[in-house]
Structure formats: structure tokens, C-alpha cells
Amino acid sequence: MKNFLLFLLFVPQVFFKDHPDNGIKNVCKYPIDEKPVVRIDDHLQGIWKMEEDSDSHNYFIVEKEDDHAYVLTYMNRSGDNRGLEHGRAYFSEINNVKFLVFPNWYREHQGYVFLKIKYISTGSWDVTASMVMDTTLYKIQNSSELRALFEKNVNNPAFYGRDLHFRKRFEFNSWR
């Protein structure tokens, strides 16, 4: 398996549990960028835990795939589901704000989910992010239209869900 990314690790199932539509309408068929263009931060590789998740067996593995993408794996049920919730994640940038772009892991609702990165600590051990919760994403027809929507709402608090806090538990070869 290739190295995986990122920080953050977010898993749609974890994020969608509080959404009234169970995540269906805030999934977009298109990514912000058709291919990754923002270079990743190697220091985000590792094992991450979302602080809001009370189940100690749930965590994210972020590994580097290449210079522009991570492989993100969500582990739950004591780690017995590797590969089921697993995919490519990468950053897109709009007005100097980074968004993590990753696949929606609900098979019946294919597309992408987005996390606005609000904070990455010095040393990349803590990350604060908010999921884009706009319920019109499923209507978007292409990446250009999606980018325009994000540009218009990048600083609109109503466009996002609550803050999510991630703490790296173990770091992978980032060669500090």
C-alpha cells in the first residue's frame, strides 16, 4: 500500500452521523480540482484520532501516495475493516484556504466530500477542520461550478459544520 496522507482524517461515516440528510446532499460528483495540484505535507502522515469520536477503536491512517495525494484509511471495529473505507485524498486550495478532498465511502452515494482546514499545529500534530455541509453540492454539474461555489462561500460559517479536532497518535517517516 502506498503512503497515505493526511491529516485528517475524516471519514464520511463519522462526519455524516449528525447530518439531517445522512450525508446525501453534501456529496458532490466532482472534485474541486480535476487532479491534485497542491503539494502535500509529509508530516501529516501517521495515525490520527478524531477527538469527538468516543470509540477508542476508531482511527485514521494517513499515508503518502505521491507528492500531491495521500491514501486515507478509516479503521473501526477494532481495525477489522481495512480496505473497506479507504481511498485517495488530496488538498485543493481556494483563496489561500486548504480543503481536503476525499471520496464519500457510502457506496450508494458516489462522489466527494470536503473538509475546510482551519488549523494545523506547528509540527503537524493537531488539526482542526470543518466539513462542507452545503446541501446543494449534489446539484453541481462540474468542477468549475464547484470551485465558484466554494469561492463565494469560503468565509461563510453557514457553509460548514461544527469544528472537528484531530490529534496525531503516531507519526510515519516524515524525516524531521
The whole-angstrom separation of Cα 88 and Cα 78 is 22
Torsion region of 22: left, alpha or beta (phi above 0 gives left; psi -120 to 50 gives alpha): left
CB 89 within 8 A of CB 31: no
Domains, the chain, ordered by start: 12-170 (2.40.128)
Distance of alpha carbon 18 from alpha carbon 83, whole angstroms? 24
Please say whether the beta carbons of 91 and 101 come within 8 A: yes
> Is the pTM of the predicted complex or chain greater than 0.75?
yes
User: What is the per-residue pLDDT across 123-132, written as a single tens digit (0 to 9) for each?
Assistant: 899 999 999 9
For residue range 61-114, list pLDDT tens digits in order. 999 999 999 998 888 766 566 556 778 999 999 999 999 998 886 666 789 999
